Amino acid sequence: MIRLLHIEWLKLKHYRPFWILMGLTALITIGVCSSGMLFMEFLKKEGADFKGFDPTMLPLYDFPDIWQNITYVASFFKILPAFIVIISIANEFSHRILRQNIIDGLSKKEWLLSKILFMGIIAISFTIVVGLIGLVTGLIYAHLDSIQNMFSGTSFLLAYCLDVFIFLLFAMLLTLIVRRGGLVIVGLFMYTFMIEPFGVHFLNYYPHLPDGVRAMALFLPIRAIHNLVPIPFPRYMFWEIQDYVSVKNLLVALCWGGFFIAASYWILKRKDL
């Protein structure tokens, strides 16, 4: 396992786009996740009306809510590390590296495993980044009495980690099918931010749909993965939200993860290189 990880590391550590995308993801995540209060102050200055509330009074960074808030926001940027996965796999196809690796004595299973393990490392790295953001911003902004709840709600960090990881698996599967990096990047972007959200909206709001069909919205892959960390912000309008990681969502997401791996392996196994 260490050997497989090391092989992938040797391939990527000299690849500049890898570091640029990793750095960019970290920067954007840190920038956006830690500027919630600045944003609220901006809203206040612009005279935003929160039904008489002062926006800066919102306890965005209070423990334990902070964990769900920042992992939810950070989850949107997982598209960037997905680009790393897409580019690195598409590169291996266009330069025939995968083929040469097999010739040199790696099995297809090992090759896939080296990619998957590395995706795990990427997901864990960003989870650590988000965890650190949570600790630092929490200690800066959280109200003192919430500090005792510092580590409750950290299950959202695990959910975020899985969220990123399974999304990367999805990107890998698409790349193995299409093999053209540019196409996959455009396709993944469109599917994640347009096609599936539109589909979900359609299922939720189109009249005359039987309930069984409507329920499918929860099982579409991007939605299912994203549901690992449910949207937290309506709670600030006193709406009820799901403030925990539900076992049902977890199972659905894990099923997708398993499917992505199995399908990737099946495709790789079948295809001539």
Binding site for another protein (CB under 8 A): 3, 6-7, 10-11, 14-16, 91, 95-97, 99-107, 110, 270, 272-273
Position 18, amino acid: F
Distance, in Å, from the CA atom of 219 to the CA atom of 228, rounded to the nearest integer, reads: 12
Judge contact between 112 and 89, C-beta under 8 A. no
Q: Which is nearer to another protein, 104 or 145 (CB)?
A: 104
Q: Which is nearer to another protein, 208 or 270 (CB)?
A: 270
Position 21, amino acid: L
Q: Which is nearer to another protein, 103 or 190 (CB)?
A: 103
- The candidate with the shortest Cα–Cα distance to 155, out of 79, 218, 252, 230, is 230
Distance, in Å, from the CA atom of 146 to the CA atom of 148, rounded to the nearest integer, reads: 5
CB of 42 to another protein, least distance (A): 41
CB of 109 to another protein, least distance (A): 9
Element (H, E) at 190: helix 181-190
Cis preceding-peptide flag for 64 (omega within 30 of 0) = yes
Three-class SS state of 50: strand
Q: Which is nearer to another protein, 89 or 245 (CB)?
A: 89
Q: Which is nearer to another protein, 103 or 177 (CB)?
A: 103
CB of 21 to another protein, least distance (A): 15
CB of 40 to another protein, least distance (A): 44
CB of 104 to another protein, least distance (A): 5
